[in-house]
Amino acid sequence: MEIKVLKDILSANDQRARENRALLDEHHVFTVNITASPGAGKTSVILETIHRLKDRITFGVVEGDVSSSIDAKMVGKEGVPVVQINTGGTCHLDATMVSNALSNLPLAKIDLLIIENVGNLICPASFALGEDRKVLVASVPEGHDKPHKYPVMFSQADVVILNKMDLLPHTDFDLKAFESAVDGLSNKAQILRVSCKTGEGIEAWIAWLLEQLPAC
């Protein structure tokens, strides 16, 4: 019985995700779903992206958190339309939450929608949102073993951003082991070495993103 209930929940979410995707496609909005563990640097990546591309494309952002609007306020200072979703304890966003957020965004004026999921490397893997691409942000301080511990998240990613590369000399992070593990889980995920603090690798991320966009 419990398995049947879970199947029903996921089936309903997938249907709503398809509806979200259809709505976004109708308005020609390209959407990325950014996932990570807490503190990996999702918001920093989003801010760096906005800084480098705001003169070329228009943005919308959905911020997912258990509580607070700290990240949404930072993004809002960039003049970007942003909607905050507080899950109240749920460890992921779902398609219905995103659907509600979309109704509060000027989709006709947005080229790129960035969804910052709740910081978690387990639950978001089960819930499609209607996105075009999945982006996973990992970070050097988390350790090189995370692909082995959270294989589903890494296997679903279209690109893996390894953030905080500036800290590499101060840790025992095994870069080769990390990249080998990601390659073993996904034959599509590109790995980008990045530091939002120093700017290292940000242009490679921007180049990857622009390649995905239908037009910019």
Instruction: Tell me the pLDDT tens digit for each residue of 56-110.
Output: 999 999 999 999 899 999 999 999 999 999 999 899 999 999 999 999 999 999 9
Contact predicate 132/32, CB 8 Å: yes
Instruction: Tell me the pLDDT tens digit for each residue of 12-69.
Output: 999 999 999 999 999 999 999 999 999 999 999 999 999 999 999 999 999 999 998 9
Q: What percent of the chain has pLDDT over 70?
A: 95
pLDDT at 89: 86
User: Tell me, what CATH number does 18's domain have?
Assistant: 3.40.50.300
Contact predicate 117/35, CB 8 Å: yes
State the chain's mean pLDDT as an integer. 94
Domain span holding position 190: 2-212
- Local confidence band at 7 (pLDDT 50, 70, 90 cut-offs): low
The domain tally of the chain equals 1
